[in-house]
Chains A and B, each alone.
Chain A
Amino acid sequence: MTSQTTDMPLSFLKPPVPATVGPDHTETDEFLLGRLREGDAKAGEILVLRYHEPLMRYLYRVSGQWALAEELHQQTWLSILEHLEKFDPSSSSGGFKAWLFRIATNKANDMWRSRSRQKNALDGFKQTQDDYTPSAGSRLEASEQECKLRESIARLPDAQRQVLLLRYYSGLKFTEIAELLGCPLNTALGRMHKAIIKLKEMMEKA
């Protein structure tokens, strides 16, 4: 083990993005949340802008469609607004970002559950394939590689997909992801390991 062990070659494995990164660099999430509690709409807008891209991309990868991702995004922020008083930054690690992604994950899970009930006649694999079949318009826009990746991600088991996407898009630590998903750290790491190995295999085959 030489230079590879000492260098950190992967950008998405670097320490989590600080909470202050976003359209307004000067104010922390907790400060903005406090203002939002007092009814400051502008603070809410800054928070939405700050997390829009990672959250939308995460929801898109989870749901497979921008329309669904937008719907989940709206539901997530609506839920944030409804439960503002319940959030306690000191009680959970990861702060507001972890809370935001937890709510988004729960919303996505709720969507999957309701879809499963609707399509319980189909087996899981076919259902996943159907859900991820891109529309004609998006098929033209998206690259072949992107479609392959989307299908490969869709084939991953839910639990593995969640850990992989949470790590990549939220930048949360594994300990925070484990807490967010309510599972032991070893379980989260095991899922991540399986997810990246499977994804690599599937993409190489494709």
Chain B
Amino acid sequence: MSTLLNQLQNNEAVLLMYIANELPPADRQEIEHLLKTDDQLKAQYQTILSAYETSERLLNEADKTAIPPKAFTAARTFGDLVRQRRTSEAASVDEKIEYRRRWSLWWYPTAAAAVLAFGMFLWWKNASENPNNSITILPIWYERWQADAEDQETIAVFDTTAPDTNIEWLYEEIEAVRYLRTTDTFW
């Protein structure tokens, strides 16, 4: 017994599958053998076969008088629908591309203007908080530059023959620079 025959629950199901030619060859052979030996099964088969034949004949005859509408019209209507949909989809894609193009056209000037506005805002804020020193916004650069300036002054006048004098002089110079830094006149 194959698995398909085992799955079928009753004789009607088995015979229907047999009549429909949906059983594997081995199962068909088995049913044919049973139909030759089992009279009850054979009678059942005849009943189902007769019902099948009647159904087929009735539907066949009825279909001869019931004529469906023209297929061509339905096909044309469907074709038009597909074309219509394709056109509307293409239009939708074009619209999206145009939207993106317009957006990208404005993006760079808008971004540049925003950066500029932000910079101006920072400058304005800094200037309003420190009206006498607009450079404090860059304190690190300022200090580094200041240190470099001090070193240059020192090296320029350093005398290797009299180190003590030089050191004293250096302290004086540093003090002078510190003083100048506090007074704004340094710049």
Chain B residues, Cβ within 8 Å of A40: 82
Q: Do the beta carbons of A186 and B45 come within 8 Å of each other?
A: no
How far is B77's CA from A141's CA once the two chains are assembled, in angstroms? 26
Q: Helix, strand, loop or mixed for chain A's interface?
A: helix
Q: Do the beta carbons of B68 and A56 come within 8 Å of each other?
A: yes
Chain B residues, Cβ within 8 Å of A45: 75-76, 78-79
How far is B82's CA from A11's CA once the two chains are assembled, in angstroms? 36
Closest to A138 in B: B66
Decide yes or no whether A143 CB sits under 8 A from chain B: yes
Decide yes or no whether B165 CB sits under 8 A from chain A: no
Q: Do the beta carbons of A189 and B82 come within 8 Å of each other?
A: no
Decide yes or no whether A181 CB sits under 8 A from chain B: no
How far is B75's CA from A36's CA once the two chains are assembled, in angstroms? 13
Within 8 A of A (CB), among B1-49: 7-10, 12-13, 16-17, 19-22, 32, 35-36, 42, 45-49
Q: Do the beta carbons of A1 and B13 come within 8 Å of each other?
A: no
Q: Do the beta carbons of A10 and B16 come within 8 Å of each other?
A: no
Which among A150, A173, A185, A199 is the interface contact of B54 at CB below 8 angstroms? A199
Using a Cβ–Cβ cut-off of 8 Å, how many residues does chain A contribute to the interface with B?
61
Q: Shortest distance in angstroms between B65's beta carbon and chain A's nearest beta carbon?
A: 5
Within 8 A of B (CB), among A174-206: 174-175, 185-186, 189-190, 192-193, 195-197, 199-200, 203
Q: A52-B74, A193-B13 are in contact. Are A168 and B59 (CB under 8 A)?
A: yes
Q: Do the beta carbons of A203 and B58 come within 8 Å of each other?
A: yes
Q: Do the beta carbons of B55 and A164 come within 8 Å of each other?
A: yes
Decide yes or no whether A135 CB sits under 8 A from chain B: no
Chain A residues, Cβ within 8 Å of B42: 1
Closest to A70 in B: B69
Chain B residues, Cβ within 8 Å of A41: 78-80, 82-83, 86
Decide yes or no whether B91 CB sits under 8 A from chain A: no
Decide yes or no whether A42 CB sits under 8 A from chain B: yes
Q: Do the beta carbons of A143 and B65 come within 8 Å of each other?
A: yes
Known: A41-B82, A197-B48. 17 other contacts (CB 8 A): A4-B46, A5-B35, A9-B49, A10-B19, A10-B53, A14-B21, A39-B82, A42-B79, A45-B79, A56-B74, A60-B66, A61-B59, A70-B74, A142-B65, A142-B66, A185-B8, A195-B55
A-B contact list, 22 entries, CB within 8 Å:
A1-B35, A4-B46, A4-B49, A5-B35, A5-B36, A9-B53, A10-B52, A13-B19, A13-B20, A13-B52, A41-B78, A41-B79, A44-B78, A56-B71, A74-B77, A146-B61, A164-B55, A167-B20, A168-B55, A185-B13, A193-B13, A196-B54
